[in-house]
Amino acid sequence: MDWEDSQEQAAFRAEVRQVIQEHLPDRYRSADGAGERAWEFDRKSDDPEAREAADSWLRTLSERRWVAPQWPYEYGGAGLTPMEQFVLNQELARVGAPHVGGSGVGLLGPTLIVHGTDEQKARYLPPILKGEVAWAQGYSEPGAGSDLASLQTRAERDGDTYVINGQKIWTSGAHAADALFLLARTDPEAPKHRGISFLLVEDIRQPGISIRPLIDMGDHHYFNETFLEDVRVPISNRVGEENRGWYVGMTLLDFERSNIGAAEGARRALARLVRDAHSTGRPLPPVARLAIAERYVESQVMFQFSLRIISMQNRGLIPNHEASVAKLFASEMSQRISLTATRAFGLHAQRWADGTAAGRATDSYIRSVPATIRGGTSEVQRNVIATRGLGLPRG
C-alpha cells in the first residue's frame, strides 16, 4: 500500500497549506488554547480583534466553499472527493484551525439535506454557510443521555404551533448560538422511540428560553442548561414526520468521521510534549520516556484508523462500528497523552494552567476528560463495537 499523496492530492495539499499560510488569523495559529468552538465564541466576542479573526477566517473558507466541504455541491459543499476532503481536514487539523459553522455544519445541515423539505433547506442552509446562524444541539436531558429516547421535554400542539416545555442539559455553546434544534416528546403514550419529534427553534433568545451556564471542571464556560417554558414554534419547523423525530435525530450524517482531527491533534500534543521535555533541561525519568514512546505508537495507530475510514468512504461505504473504534481510541488516546505529559513533569504538574509546560499539561488533561463522554460515552462505543462490529449478543 502506498501512503504517499497522488500528484493531484499533493497539489491540493499544497493549495490548502498556502491558504492557511496566507489567511489563517494569527489568533488561531497557536490553536491549542483556542479550542474547537473558538470561531463560534469569537464571532460574538466583545473583543473586536476576536470578531475580526472569526470574520476573516469565515471569509477565507466561504470563498472556497470550504465551510461545509462535505455537503453535496448543490447545497453549497465543495464538490471534493472523499480523499480531498480528508486532505483538507488533515491540513486544517494539523495547525489546529477552528471549525466554522459549528453544529449547523456538522449535524443540522446534513440532517436537513436528508430529511428537510425544500423550503427548510432553502431557509436554513444558506445562513449556516454564511456564518450568520450558529445552532446549538438540544438532545440531552438530566435523565436522558446515553438512553436518549427517555427524554421528557414535551411539545404539544396548539393550532399551528407546538408549545415546548422541558429542560435540556450540556447544550454546548448555547450562550453563543442563535438557534436550537431539539428532540421533544410529541406522543407520551407511544413506545419511547416512536413519540419523539425533531423541532427547530429559530431564535434561541425568544421568550420562554433561559440559558444557564455550567462551568466545567477546567473552569471554562462551554456548555449550559437550557430551560424551555411555553416556547412556541410553528409546525412548519418540524423536520420529518411527527413522532418520527428519533430517526431524523439519529441521521446526523457527519461525513467527517475519520477523526483525522484527533490523529493530528495527538501528533501536535506529542510534538509539544517532546519540545517541553527538552526545555526543562533535566533528563526525563526512564518510565516517562517509555510512556511517551508508547503514546507515539498509539498516535500512529490512530492515523491508520483514520485512513481505514477514509478508504471506506472512498468506496462509498458508511463507517459504522469503525467510526466507534476511531472515536473510542481517539478520545482515550488524547487522555493518555495528556496524562503522560503530567506524569513526565511529576509534582510540577500540580501547578495548573500557570503558563508553564507542566501547568499546560495538567490543563490539557482536564480538557481531555469530556471527550470520552460527549457524542456517546466510551461504554456506549464499546457496546456498538461488541454488538454491531463483533456480532456479540446484547446483555
Ligand X SMILES: Cc1cc2nc3c(=O)[nH]c(=O)nc-3n(C[C@H](O)[C@H](O)[C@H](O)COP(=O)(O)OP(=O)(O)OC[C@H]3O[C@@H](n4cnc5c(N)ncnc54)[C@H](O)[C@@H]3O)c2cc1C
Query: Over the Cα atoms of the chain, what is R_g?
Result: 22
- Give the SS3 label for residue 326: helix
Alpha helices in the chain (DSSP H): 7-23, 38-42, 48-63, 82-94, 102-103, 109-115, 118-129, 245-249, 260-279, 286-314, 321-344, 357-368, 378-384
Q: Which is nearer to ligand X, 53 or 151 (CB)?
A: 151
CB of 116 to ligand X, least distance (A): 20
How many CB atoms lie under 10 A from the CB of residue 374? 13
Is 379 designated active site?
A: no
91, 256, 298, 322: the active-site residue: 256
Q: Which is nearer to ligand X, 132 or 379 (CB)?
A: 379
Instruction: Kindly list the distances between the CA atom of residue 113 and the CA atoms of 83, 101, 181, 207, 253, in Å, as whole numbers in the listed order.
Output: 22, 16, 15, 29, 10
How would you label 79-96 residue by residue, b for 16+ Cβ within 10 Å and e otherwise? Answer: ebebbbbbbbbbbbbbbb
Q: Which is nearer to ligand X, 85 or 331 (CB)?
A: 331
Q: Which is nearer to ligand X, 200 or 312 (CB)?
A: 200
Q: Which is nearer to ligand X, 380 or 385 (CB)?
A: 380
CA distance 101 to 83: 22
CA distance 285 to 279: 15
Grid cell listed for 32: 491549542
CA distance 232 to 8: 51
Closest to 340 in 3D by CA, of 364, 305, 304, 311: 364
CB of 145 to ligand X, least distance (A): 2
Q: Which is nearer to ligand X, 139 or 246 (CB)?
A: 139
CB of 383 to ligand X, least distance (A): 6
State the residues that interact with ligand X by CB under 6 A: 137-140, 145-146, 170-172, 223, 370, 373-374, 377, 379-380, 383
CB of 220 to ligand X, least distance (A): 10
Closest to 32 in 3D by CA, of 273, 373, 344: 273
CB of 139 to ligand X, least distance (A): 3
CB of 48 to ligand X, least distance (A): 28
Q: Which is nearer to ligand X, 159 or 395 (CB)?
A: 395
**Which residue in the shown chain puts its C-beta closest to ligand X?**
145
How many CB atoms lie under 10 A from the CB of residue 159? 9
Closest to 250 in 3D by CA, of 301, 188, 318: 318
CB of 226 to ligand X, least distance (A): 9
Give the end-to-end CA distance of the chain in Å, rounded to a whole number. Answer: 39
Q: Decide: 204 and 177 in contact? Cβ < 8 Å.
A: yes
Q: Active-site residue numbers? A: 256
